[in-house]
């Protein structure tokens, strides 16, 4: 992956080649994230490591080295297992609840479906902010990231709504696009989450390299 901090030939201004390079880098990041997360138990560690890489990219203009990335993933692998299990369980329950309400298998009708959909959007937005906070501290420390994200959501509900919007849009696009493009979408989603959090103060310590 290239660095976008490299001087351009146009007096420091970015041109279409820089944009194309950034798009390719994020697509590659999404593909690698999907491959590493495929065993499911490694999903949290993969997401945290990818988030840490995007955090470096947005802060310094360059991607971390392979050695740093592998070290981050190694540190996050075991602590991330319970996080992965919890996320999968919550996602499965919410998906089953939404499907049951949408097909009329359980009572409640449209009002219950709307409420459940809003709760789902809020939880996914919170999860997106947790991933950002995990990236800010080097890809791990999920408890600290969860606490920091909870405080941020309570302090700035509008930003929480923005995170919910990003994750909801990503979910919609994942359904609409061809399956082969879903891994690419993952990289763009992590970048979008960091863009939304761009002006938010860092509330957890970053990993010292």
Per residue in 62-114, pLDDT (tens digit) is 899 999 999 999 999 999 999 999 999 999 999 998 888 888 787 777 888 89
* Chain CA centroid to CA 172, Å: 15
- The mean pLDDT value of the chain amounts to 86
Least confident of 60-64, 137-141, 150-154, 182-186: 137-141
Residue 208 has a pLDDT of 39
* Cα distance between residue 83 and residue 87, in whole Å: 6
Question: In the numeric block, which tokens belong to residue 188?
Answer: 């763009």
Residues facing residue 194 across a β-bridge: none
Residues facing residue 10 across a β-bridge: 13
> Comparing C-alpha atoms, which of 45, 27, 18 is closest to residue 190?
27
Count of C-beta atoms within a 10 Å radius of residue 176: 8
């Amino acid at each position: 992956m290239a660095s976008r901090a490299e001087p351009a030939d146009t007096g420091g201004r970015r041109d279409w080649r820089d944009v194309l390079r950034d798009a390719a880098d994020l697509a590659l990041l999404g593909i690698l994230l999907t491959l590493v997360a495929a065993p499911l138990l490694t999903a949290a560690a993969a997401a945290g490591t990818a988030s840490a890489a995007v955090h470096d990219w947005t802060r310094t203009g360059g991607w971390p080295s392979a050695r740093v990335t592998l070290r981050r993933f190694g540190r996050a692998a075991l602590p991330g297992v319970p996080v992965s299990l919890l996320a999968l369980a919550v996602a499965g329950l919410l998906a089953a609840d939404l499907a049951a309400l949408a097909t009329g298998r359980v009572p409640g009708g449209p009002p219950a479906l709307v409420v459940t959909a809003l709760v789902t959007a809020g939880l996914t937005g919170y999860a997106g902010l947790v991933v950002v906070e995990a990236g800010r501290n080097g890809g791990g420390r999920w408890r600290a990231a969860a606490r920091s994200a909870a405080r941020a959501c309570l302090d700035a509900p509008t930003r929480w709504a923005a995170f919910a919007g990003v994750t909801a849009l990503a979910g919609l696009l994942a359904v609409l696009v061809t399956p082969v493009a879903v891994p690419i979408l993952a990289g763009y989603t992590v970048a979008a989450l960091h863009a939304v959090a761009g002006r938010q103060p860092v509330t957890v310590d970053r990993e010292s390299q």
